Amino acid sequence: MSSTRRYLCDCLPCCLSAGVHQVSIQLDLETVFQFSHLVRAALMSGSPQSFRPAAMLIERSKDFGRSWKVFRYFAEDCSLHFPSVSAGPADSIDDVVCDSRYSGSEPSTDGEVPVHMTVQIHTMKTGRPAYLITLTNIRLNFTRLFTLGDTLLTRRRRNPQDKYYYSLYNMVVRGSCFCNGHAGRCTPVHGRCVCQHNTAGENCERCQDFHHDSPWRPGGENTADICRRCNCHGHSDSCHFDAARYRATSGVSGGVCDGCLHDRTGPQCEQCRPFLYQDPQRAKDDPHACIPCSCNVIGSLGPYCSKVGGLCECKPNVIGRCCDTCAPLICFVLLPACECDPRGSVSELCDQVRGQCACRAEVAGRRCDRCQTGYWGFPQCRACQCNGLSEDCDAESGECRSCREHSAGPNCDRFYMNIH
């Protein structure tokens, strides 16, 4: 089919139940159709003088015959045959009226009952015309034969009205596949829509898989009606529409990705999971872009870091992305401030990892507050005078310690010999 418009029925002549008033014809369409043109039945109801039915009605079903709704009544005398039905005209799609224009004695042959099934209504929201007649079944109910009154005069026949019958010699039903405005054609026979605009379903009644970033709507000229593809940055192949998110973003995005992979989370898999952050050197769709925070357990307040840049939350006086560096003038987190002794240090700054102050050559200690081994008398730190016979002396008095064999004294300057 090159179009959604189709001839649904082009019926051949047939005769129906001579002498019987109550007769029906049902047309089952097997799928949902939208009637945008007309239903026309060419009818006769007698012979040799063949008239249209004196009374009939047309019903429609949208649920494959489970329920029916009358679309239009027809009668030569509406007040007689359908006294509770208005004589019209119809003002809306749901108005059911009785039409007396197609049930009289003229013409006596080739009489037609045209039924225009299209009612065009402009919706308040979009201003576009909405064609609301959707059907799965049509049923013509003939309720009264048209007779000339001779059934009351003659007694020659057992049933004088047997000479009257309904004759349907042509019925044309034209309509279109019901595709919600999202298809330009449908398949033959079963009328399945060939959906466009990223829609799917027998009648294009839903968005195609992975196209739920915007809500499904009936089609029109506005591209906003097109189902938009979800953006999961390559970390999921499934998503669903979330009305709350759509409202919160002012209609920018309503898609929520399902089951994000590669350590991702967020409505669009745009964030790394806790304890991970986005590697700034990799693209957001890179499956290996989420890397561990690596927060220093001593210098940080916890294992979490910022999603971008991986900045850890540091304790006071600690800096660095991983909280592994002391702030200027501050030693490592477990120690107090540098507190370098100005008498023994060459700077007020200390090592930002170990907290070690920069000491003079003869000075030692983290704070540069004592003399090196071999020196005494801080802060002057004079070299020990042990005549080369000891490597250390008392830090306060300068007295040599552990003089070598055969030597003694504060400066290891007394010698003695063992006499046996």
Q: How confident is the model at residue 48 (pLDDT cuts 50, 70, 90)?
A: very low
**What confidence tens digit (pLDDT) does each residue in 62-76 have?**
888 899 998 888 888
Is the separation of the CB atoms in 259 and 265 below 8 Å?
Answer: no
Q: Which residue has the higher pLDDT, 31 or 400?
A: 400
> For 216-232, what is the mean pLDDT?
84
Residue 28, pLDDT > 90, answer no
| 324-349 residues labelled b (16+ CB within 10 A) or e (exposed) | bbbeeebbbbeeeebbbbeebbeeee
Return the CATH superfamily for domain 280-325.
Tie2 ligand-binding domain superfamily (2.170.300.10)
Other Cβ atoms less than 10 A from the Cβ of 108: the count is: 16
What gap in Å lies between CA 119 and CA 245, rounded to an integer? 37
pLDDT at residue number 229: 95
pLDDT in tens, 261-274: 999 999 999 999 99
135 vs 265: which has the higher pLDDT: 265
Q: Is pLDDT larger for residue 118 or for residue 18?
A: 18
Percent of the chain with pLDDT over 70: 75
Give the model's pLDDT for residue 144. Answer: 84
Let me know: does 355 contact 326? Beta carbons within 8 Å: yes
Task: Please choose, from the candidates 391, 262, 364, the residue with its C-alpha nearest in 3D space to the C-alpha of residue 271.
Answer: 262
CATH number assigned to the domain with residue range 5-150+160-178, chosen from the 4 options 2.60.120.260, 3.90.45.10, 3.40.50.10190, 1.20.58.220:
2.60.120.260
Which residue type sits at 154? T
Q: Using 50, 70 and 90 to split pLDDT, how confident is the model at 186?
A: confident
Identify the residue with better confidence: 233 or 101: 233
Classify each residue of 400-412 as buried b or exposed e, where b means 16 or more C-beta atoms within 10 Å of its C-beta: beebeeebeeebb
Q: Is the pLDDT of residue 104 over 70?
A: no
- pLDDT tens, 147-160? 776 554 455 555 55
Residue 359 has pLDDT above 70, yes or no: yes
Confidence at residue 162, expressed as pLDDT on a 0 to 100 scale = 61
Domain ranges of the chain: 5-150+160-178, 280-325
Query: How confident is the model over 99-125, as a mean pLDDT?
Result: 58
pTM attached to this predicted model: 0.55
Residue 97 confidence (pLDDT) above 90: no
